[in-house]
Chains A and B, each alone.
Chain A
Amino acid sequence: GENVEQHPSTLSVQEGDSAVIKCTYSDSASNYFPWYKQELGKRPQLIIDIRSNVGEKKDQRIAVTLNKTAKHFSLHITETQPEDSAVYFCAATSGFQKLVFGTGTRLLVSP
């Protein structure tokens, strides 16, 4: 089955810096890669996603890149703000509409 690894587990940056979170997956059939943001005590919220026929997708300060050959994808956050502080999860599809999640990255943005 699918296995998703996520790094780093924690990431501390200064406000205004960029943050990059990386994930690798094992199933070459995976074709959908979402990223979720989870604030403390709240539900995971979908912030951006990418499909296997696209190499990069951007939405304001957030971008995701996908390298199918290497089986890895990354989340890039530019001009970080304190409200970006949260746990971020990557995921990849496995089978019919099933997601396998990474272990999460705790991002802390200091003012």
Chain B
Amino acid sequence: EAGVTQFPSHSVIEKGQTVTLRCDPISGHDNLYWYRRVMGKEIKFLLHFVKESKQDESGMPNNRFLAERTGGTYSTLKVQPAELEDSGVYFCASSQVWGQGRAEAFFGQGTRLTVV
């Protein structure tokens, strides 16, 4: 069974450009989460999809970030325009049931974004 897959693994872009990160969750997992780790600090929650609906986007830093989940399958996270402080590692996770306490959340390997 394939795990959570993220593309690309690394991305280096200039300030002001646009970048789109993609996450393919484990097949059948309705719940999809985005997290971000900036500069070796804590990993922080960005948002949570249940199927194609945004359940919770309280962690999205500002309106330069746009997340979508087409048809409840893969998800994209677009940053437009990118700023220097957006650099970090973006993790995607998926789980079968609501609330990760009763199930394991499986994480992808992350996308390392560097804005120069």
Does A associate with B in a complex?
A: no
